[in-house]
Amino acid sequence: MHKVILDTDPGIDDAMAIAYALGHPDIDLLALTTVFGNVSIEKTTRNAQYLLDCMGAEKVSVAKGAAVPLVQPPLPHSEFVHGDDGIGNCYPKAAVKLNSQAAHAKVQSQAAAEYIVSMARAAPGEITLLAVGPLTNIAQALILEPALPDLVKQLIVMGGTVDEPGNVTPLAEANFFNDPHAADTVMAADWPLTIVGLDVTHKIMLTDTHLARLRDEAGQCGQLLWDTSRFYIDFYTNNGAAIGLDEPCCAMHDAAAVVFLVEPDVFTTVSGASRVVTDGMAAGQLAMDRKGYQYATGHWINRPVTTRACMQVNTDAALNAFISTVISFGSS
Ligand code: BDR
Ligand code: CA
C-alpha cells in the first residue's frame, strides 16, 4: 500500500489525479497539501476541500500551503486554462452535489510544509510525496527538515520537461516556471525522485470519448470530471494544444504522476543529475545531465544522480489504468 501525500493546486487535471488516487486500491491518500498555482491558494484550498467532499472523501486531511513563490514575485495564475475558480467554473454548481453528510473536509492547523515534515518524521521511509503543483511547499519542507529526502520513500513530481517543448515558454513547464527557485531547491537535493514531465504527459491525451465514458460509467465522480473538463478541453482545442487527435482532448498531466506511482512499468525513464534554471530567458527550464558526464564545473560539481525523468509511455496502458480505476471507484 502506498501512503501518499498529494501536494496539489486544484486545478482540473489535479481533480483527475485526486479521483485516481482516491480510487486506487493500492493507494492510501493521507492528505492533500495545497499550493498556489493554477489559481490562488484560497481557491486551491477551497477546491481541495470541495473535491474531497464531492468524492465522498471528506476524512482526508487538507493542509494549506504557500501563497506565493519562494523568491520571485508571484506570476499571474492560470485562470485562462482552469477557469476563474480553478475547476472549470463549476464551483459550487458542479452537477454533483456536495455529499449529503454534515461532515466536510477540514483544513489542518499545521501549514503544508510543517505537515509534510511531521508526517515524514512520524513514519520514516513510508510516505510517497506526489507533487503536482509548483514545488514551493516541498522546498519549504526541505528547508525545515534537510533530512527529508531520507525520511520519505520517494518523491514523484509532475513538472518540467527534458526534450518536449515547454507549455508556458519554449523551455519551461508551468509548475517549474511558477516557482523555479523552489524547483531548483528540490532538484538540488538527493532524493529518490522521479519527474513525470511534459515528455510523457503530452503523450497521454484524454479525449471527449474517454471523458464521456467517465461521465456515463463513473457515477458522480465521472460527472464531476466531465463537467470540470469542459473549460479545459476548450482551452486545449482553441490553443492548438490538443495534439495529434481529431476530437477534442486535453492532457491529464497530474493524473499521469499517479499512474507512475502504481504502474511504473508503463514508462521508460532516463537518469541524471538535475537542476532548474532560476532566472532569465530560460527560467523554469529543467537541466538534466543525461549523458552522465558528471560535469566538474559550476552548479554541477559532485551532483548526485538520484533523479530520473520519464521519457516514453505506453499511452493506451496509462489511459486504461486511469479510466478503469476511476470507473470502478465512481460506480461503487
Ligand atoms: C501542470 O501545470 C498545471 O496547470 C497543471 O495542473 C499541471 O500540474 C502542467 O504543466
Ligand atoms: Ca497541478
Are 309 and 195 in contact by the 8 Å Cβ rule? The answer is: yes
Mean pLDDT of the chain: 93
Q: What is the CATH number of domain 2-331?
A: 3.90.245.10
253 flagged as catalytic: yes
Q: Which position among 2, 24, 82, 253 bears the catalytic label?
A: 253
Q: How confident is the model at residue 46 (pLDDT cuts 50, 70, 90)?
A: very high
9, 201, 205, best to mutate for ligand 1 pocket (most atoms within 8 Å of CB): 9
250-305: per-residue pLDDT in tens?
999 999 999 999 999 999 999 999 999 999 999 999 999 998 887 878 888 777 77
Give 132 Cα–ligand 1 centroid separation in angstroms: 7
- From atom 10 of ligand 1, which residue's Cα is the shortest distance away? 174
106-143: per-residue pLDDT in tens?
999 999 999 999 999 999 999 999 999 999 999 999 99
If you search the block for the grid coordinates 486535453, which residue do you land on?
250
pTM, rounded to two decimals: 0.96
8, 32, 38, best to mutate for ligand 1 pocket (most atoms within 8 Å of CB): 38
Residues contacting ligand 1 via CB (< 6 Å)? 11, 13-14, 38, 78, 81, 132-133, 158, 167, 173-175, 253-254
- Over range 180-191, report the average pLDDT: 96
